[in-house]
Structure 1
Amino acid sequence: MNTTAPYGLKEVNEAVAALRGRMVSAPLTAILAGTGLGDMVDACEVNARIAYGEIPHFPASTVESHAGYLVFGALNGQPVAILQGRCHLYEGYGPRTVTFPIRVLHSLGVKNLVITNASGGLNPEFAAGDIMVIADHINLTGENPLVGPNEEAWGGRFPDMTAAYDPALRQWALEERDRKAGRLREGVYVGLKGPSLETPAEMRFLRTIGADAVGFSTVMECIAAVHGGMRVLGLSTITNTCRPDEPAPAQLEEIIAVARDAAPRLAAIIAAVIGRLSEADPDAGR
């Protein structure tokens, strides 16, 4: 058996070494911006913008609307790192490759990870444009980034997932409901491998097992982050609704447009949570 893990500690350390000299200050919070949400960086004071191709071993996204930059800057006065785009299992990447950026952020000292995505709304009460705070997830990808030899520098062999999405961060996000966040929901996200969208029968099944929203990302990154001891906040923009009894084709252009329209509200929620982090921990932005 070949126990040499691709995208292992050596590759992570090489990426970290290339990035350290380009950071103005080391962020303790990172934001992973999903489909159509990369424009959130407009709300930040940018110090450095680094193309994924300039970072050793960093995987490149092949998906439209994923710009492919790692941005260092400040949001709400606090240093942050923003991943403008991600790679996905459906692009042919393995789970260790998909989570490589999370391992790099962890090794740079990031303690808090905000994961955003565009998703289809399974809950009949959800509407396009809603933002859902992820309370929990269901992994139906058939993959896990922890399969294979465990790297003790990243975390223990069997990480506990009973509170994968940090309860305090979720509560802080939900408290923005009455401000400028618009329609803010809470629910369970189910991750599929994709890229084909769901059949009506699959929509019914996913709703039956307790899912409120469905997408093709987030689960791998959350598992890797929890493995590394990071606090995770997940935010899904509901870009289309999945109605099995009234099925309608989902158009990529419309999905991206809805996500981009929601980006300022999403940025406001994230900025508020980052502000609360700095209040709770004075060292959170150092």
Structure 2
Amino acid sequence: MPPPTHDQTYNTEDVSIAVFTAAANYLRARLPSELNSPKVAIICGSGLGQLADTIENKVEFAYEDIPGFVSSTVPGHLGKLAFGLIGDKRIPTVFMVGRFHFYEGHTLKQITFPVRVFKMLGVEILIVTGATGALSREFKVGMIGVTTDHISLPGLAGNNPLFGPNVSAFGPRFPPMSNAYDYDLRVIAFKAADYLRFPTGTLKEAIYTFVGGPSFETRAEARYLSLIGGDLVGMSTVPEVIVARHCGIKVLGLTLVSNMVAIGKGKCADPAEQDLNGIEEPLVNHEEVLQTGKERALDMQKLVKTIIDLIPST
């Protein structure tokens, strides 16, 4: 009998433990014993799905086949879970090859559904990757931001994945987020970059600013995001991080800088203000984001695998 579709198994208002148990049981029943209790989960963002290509003993599941999962509709997001062994230590890991986004029309509960399933499977560490635009001019295209903190614009406006009844089996009603991004994992990320002899400055700590999308930011919005403390801006990551921390999963955030955000005032049509004309900055597009991800894919693969090898065994 084919598995039920997500429409039959998942009500966006239903946050009972049973819906997550059903998904975890479906996966565990179809995985070999060496893979059915992964310790690490990796969410692959735009153009970074190649991270899952080098794992050993790979077993894959299309999202539409997993109870409770929705489908990804964004170019560069393949839409599957890949389980396998990664690195010299052959750590059992689950890759989310393509994530869900708020702008696709999914609820925040649907977007973060996989993270709670990961918790039920035994995941202890979540590595979230993605592509971002640089607000701060201390960042350049191709650099990798190591997230230290985030600003959630949707969250401040009431769109938080923990909104509604609390699932106490996962965590408390009011979880702290001041330690959302694990310090020890960030230290390991920089050690991994040094071990790989990445040029100095390839990795840099950053504050991630989460916006809803799908339109890219206006210049005025970009200046505002920079003013309130954002270094990088993206349309994902933060909902998954919030739910992971609610579940007690440690988080490392790695984000590839794919473009420079237009932040200047641009051309002025008022003749009286001609001397104040700004520089006309190029427009960003999703193809540019994907291309940058493709160009840096190998470095990201090496970095993530080395980080996992450097994590102390428990």
TM-score of the pair, normalised by structure 1: 0.93
Q: Is the 8 A contact 1:6 1:96 kept in 2?
A: no
Q: Which of 172, 183, 186 does residue 167 from structure 1 map onto?
A: 183
Q: Which of 118, 122, 136 does residue 149 from structure 2 map onto?
A: 136
Q: 1:31-56, CA deviations, whole angstroms, 9 ceiling, x for partnerless residues? A: 00010000111221142011111101
Please show how residues 62-101 of structure 1 align to structure 2 within 5 Å. 62-76=73-87, 77-101=90-114
C-alpha change, 1:68 and 1:181, in structure 2 (3 Å) is farther
Find the residue that maps to 2:254 and give its secondary structure.
Answer: strand
1:251 aligns with 285
Identity of aligned residues (%): 39
2:296 aligns with 262
1:29 Cα deviation after fit: 0.4
Q: Is the 8 A contact 2:39 2:125 kept in 1?
A: yes
2:308 aligns with 274
1:240 aligns with 259
Find the residue that maps to 1:175 and give its secondary structure.
Answer: helix
C-alpha change, 1:235 and 1:41, in structure 2 (3 Å) is same
1:59 Cα deviation after fit: 1.2
5+ unaligned residues in a row in structure 2: which ranges? 1-11, 265-278
Q: Which of 120, 124, 140 does residue 127 from structure 1 map onto?
A: 140
How many Å separate the matches in 2 of 1:41 and 1:240? 24
Q: Which of 12, 18, 21 does residue 29 from structure 2 map onto?
A: 21
Higher RCO (C-alpha 8 Å, min separation 6):
1
1:281 Cα deviation after fit: 2.3
Find the residue that maps to 1:270 and give its secondary structure.
Answer: helix
Q: Is the 8 A contact 1:28 1:109 kept in 2?
A: yes
Find the residue that maps to 2:295 and give its secondary structure.
Answer: helix
Report the residue type matching 1:66 in the other structure: H
How many Å separate the matches in 2 of 1:140 and 1:181? 33
Report the residue type matching 2:54 in the other structure: A
Report the residue type matching 2:146 in the other structure: V
Find the residue that maps to 1:15 and give its secondary structure.
Answer: helix
1:205 is aligned to 2:224: yes
How many Å separate the matches in 2 of 1:255 and 1:180? 25
Report the residue type matching 1:159 in the other structure: P
TM-score of the pair, normalised by structure 2: 0.85
Deviates more, 1:209-218 or 1:6-15: 6-15
Number of matched pairs: 278
Q: 1:58-85, CA deviations, whole angstroms, 9 ceiling, x for partnerless residues? A: 1111101100010000110211000001
Over alpha carbons, which structure has the higher Rg? Answer: 2
Q: Is the 8 A contact 1:33 1:84 kept in 2?
A: yes
How many Å separate the matches in 1 of 2:192 and 2:220? 35
Q: 1:143-162, CA deviations, whole angstroms, 9 ceiling, x for partnerless residues? A: 11111110111111111111
2:17 aligns with 9
